[in-house]
A and B are shown apart, each in its own frame.
Chain A
Amino acid sequence: MTADITPTPPSPADDDVLLRIENLVKHFPVQAGSLIRREKAVVHAVDGVNLQVRRGQTLGLVGETGCGKSTLARCVMRLYDITSGRIFFDGQDISTLSARRMRPFRRQIQMIFQDPYGSLNPRRRVGAIIGDPLAIQRIARGKERKRRVQEVMELVGLNPEHYNRFPAEFSGGQRQRIGVARALAFRPRLIVCDEPVSALDVSIQAQIINLLADLQKEFGLTYIFIAHDLSVVRHVSNSVAVMYLGKIAEVAPVEELWNQPRHPYTGALLSAVPVPDPDHAERRERILLVGDVPSPVSPPSGCRFHPRCPKAGQVCVDSDPPLEPRYADGPDHVAACHLPMADGEDLSKARPAIRAVERVIESGIQGGA
């Protein structure tokens, strides 16, 4: 799968960039054979991603289930070893550091997990769970640790008296606050939020999002906010990256993405966001994408989105589009598309230039359009 992608050239405000990801690739081998494990094929979970996150900003990362956003998050956290590519945190290359060398960086990059029920050890008390970072990194012990844990519990809106309770005794929203408290325990600089509100009720979602926003203001945190709910992402992010099948489709400042999406996938996603006003909802055209997301084991040739794209042309089958500014966009707004959407273009009126059958044969989708 040859990708014609050049790394993003360093932008002028480079000292402003806290995290830079260059050509990150993560492949998972599909193993066959029971006695000796042979590699049969490879899952292209993340296939050449370039991203930047500025200090104090929130980068939203959206995409369908299975597009690789969680894998990307875990690669940034070095929970997985990356197949190739580089990760720069504050200018330093952390892509291949050993566990020991990585330890000091773990104080600065932390993660909030999606599942408030699974991310806390049910047999440990909440105080111990939140105090884990302090214990593991040997920052504080005994009374000092307890004091700091209770301090951070208050910060996230938990009653410090509940130090000795078990996770089972808290509601979902409170458990997520415990997760936030754990991530915050040693005041990291970057927090990767892996769908932190997806498992919560809508009313609780608002509370957690507001909490995250307050913490960001108070501590100057930088967030990577992964979600599949676009309205939430719009509310919290400064800039948004759209991911599809292991690659970035588009990156833009949040309002620009909403008003002038370039990539047809972004256009389709935006048209699917529920609109509160029923009259407005009736009037607009939903863009329905044909087919299912192809398997990441054998992604389509050229642009990965071409089998489902309402605007696909022959060039899309032949070559993989680079991630660069389109039309008259500034350097902050990049899209990987040969036939991007123009300003105000109505995607529902687009027709693909290649036949559906051709697309199916080209991409090898079973039972496609």
Chain B
Amino acid sequence: MSLGSGDLITVGGEPTPDTLVAEGLAAKKIEGRSPWRLAMARLRRDHASMISLGVIIVIVLVAIFAPVFAALTGHGVYQEFRATGLTPEGLPVGPSGTFLLGTDDQGRDILVRIAYGARISLVVGVLATFLTVVVAAVVGLAAGYFGKTVDTLLARLIDMLLAIPFLLFAIALVSVIGPGLAVVIIVIGFFGWASVARIVRGQVLSIREKEYVEAARALGAGPWRIMVVDILPNVIAPIIVYTTLLIPLTIVTEASLSFLGIGVPPPTADWGQMINESSLYYTSGAWWFLLFPSLALLITTLAFNIFGDGVRDALDPRGLDQLYV
């Protein structure tokens, strides 16, 4: 029995009306499934990522509705409850009915401060990362595409930035300008872009040699059109992966800066700062003061990391080649 290329294989031999209808329906839906849709489908199937995404959403909601926490408990974020929140010796009070997660050394409600601290962490994490990635993408694209002198200059600039010790420079900068939210964002963004730019530049260098870029040049496309239409979509996948993995890094960096005292200044609620302040007190038994901000930081970072891994696997299931099939 020989089969032609167009035969429908059905039990019984003759194509039934159902199969013909199905074929007709399939023919109508000739809208291709874009690589993005396929990636989203893969991501949705990854349970760990979906759970992490849920956690992230919860954290975002907590940050947005932080005033609700303050209203419900009746404790303001800066309010010091010296009478009820501190022991007669002046030490923090543990978790109880009034203070669900205990108080800190100034008698402030830790639960409310953690909620407000989420704002700082998320704002800095997302904003600084966004700034970093945009600068890195532009620089990486320019360096990779234009090559020669532009590339040499930018590549050396990137190498220099990567060689500068981040912490020393951050301390120096903050001591000159003074602490504040904007400074933290700028400092983190200023150093973060170099490593992402290097990755972007590498990708652009390899994509630039692809035949479809040559074809675009043969058609008379200018450099900007090629960069936006041909190169950028193929480079954006690694950029997205890096962004999702850079956010937790940024959050931890910000917490570290605050821990060292060069981040957001007190009395603004900030996880890193709370961890710093707690270090004097947990030997006296105030474990909640250290534990809860640390847990908050850990859970946030873990959630972003796991989600980032999931995004990378979704965009890149078979190793780096799959991104540019």
Contact = CB atoms under 8 A, between A and B. Distances in A.
21 contacts: A79-B214, A79-B217, A107-B220, A110-B219, A119-B211, A119-B215, A120-B212, A120-B215, A121-B229, A122-B35, A122-B234, A122-B324, A129-B212, A136-B219, A136-B221, A161-B30, A165-B32, A166-B32, A166-B33, A166-B35, A182-B215
Interface stretch (A2-10, A84-92, A98-106, A308-316): A98-106
User: Which 10 interchain pairs have the tightest Cβ spacing?
Assistant: A165-B32, A106-B220, A119-B211, A118-B211, A166-B32, A121-B212, A123-B233, A103-B220, A136-B221, A164-B31
Contact of B220 (A118, A121, A136, A166): A136
Contacts of A103: 220
A119 B212 contact: yes
Nearest to A116: B211
A79 B216 CA distance: 10
Contacts of A77: 218
A119 B217 CA distance: 12
A169 interface: yes
B311 to A, nearest CB: 17
**Taking each of A106, A114, A123, which has the highest tally of chain B beta carbons within 10 Å of its own beta carbon?**
A123
A113 interface: yes
Interface string B192-231: 0000000000000000001110111111111001000110
Given A118-B212, A136-B225, A169-B32, A79 B234 contact: no
Contacts of A122: 35, 234, 324-325
A115 B219 contact: no
B30 A162 contact: yes
A121 B229 CA distance: 9
Interface of B: 27, 30-35, 210-212, 214-222, 225, 229-230, 233-234, 324-325
A41 interface: no
Contacts of A74: 214
Given A121-B230, A165-B32, A99 B222 contact: yes
A81 interface: no
Interface in A150-169: 159, 161-162, 164-166, 168-169
A218 B221 CA distance: 28
A137 interface: yes
Interface string A181-219: 010000000000000000000000000000000000000
A74 B297 CA distance: 56
A111 interface: yes
A123 B234 contact: yes
A118 B32 contact: no
Nearest to A103: B220
**Taking each of A113, A121, A164, which has the highest tally of chain B beta carbons within 10 Å of its own beta carbon?**
A121
A136 B221 CA distance: 6
Nearest to A127: B32
A256 interface: no
Given A120-B212, A166-B32, A133 B219 contact: yes
A182 B214 CA distance: 13
A124 interface: yes
Contacts of B214: 74, 79, 113, 119
A125 B31 CA distance: 10
A111 B215 contact: yes
A161 B217 CA distance: 28
Contacts of A126: 32
A115 B213 CA distance: 13
A132 B216 CA distance: 8
B216 A115 contact: no
Contacts of B233: 121, 123-124
A354 to B, nearest CB: 41
A102 B248 CA distance: 49
B35 A132 contact: no
Nearest to B225: A136
A122 B210 CA distance: 11
Nearest to B156: A35
Given A103-B220, A122-B325, 17 more contacts: A77-B218, A79-B218, A106-B219, A115-B211, A119-B211, A119-B215, A121-B212, A122-B35, A122-B324, A123-B34, A132-B219, A136-B216, A136-B219, A136-B221, A161-B30, A165-B32, A169-B32
**Taking each of B30, B219, B225, B234, which has the highest tally of chain A beta carbons within 10 Å of its own beta carbon?**
B219
Nearest to A104: B220
Contacts of B32: 125-126, 164-166, 169
Contacts of B220: 99, 102-103, 106-107, 136-137
A119 B210 CA distance: 7
Interface string A63-78: 0000000000010010
A289 B32 CA distance: 50
A211 to B, nearest CB: 19
A106 B220 CA distance: 6
A102 B234 CA distance: 28
A113 B215 contact: yes
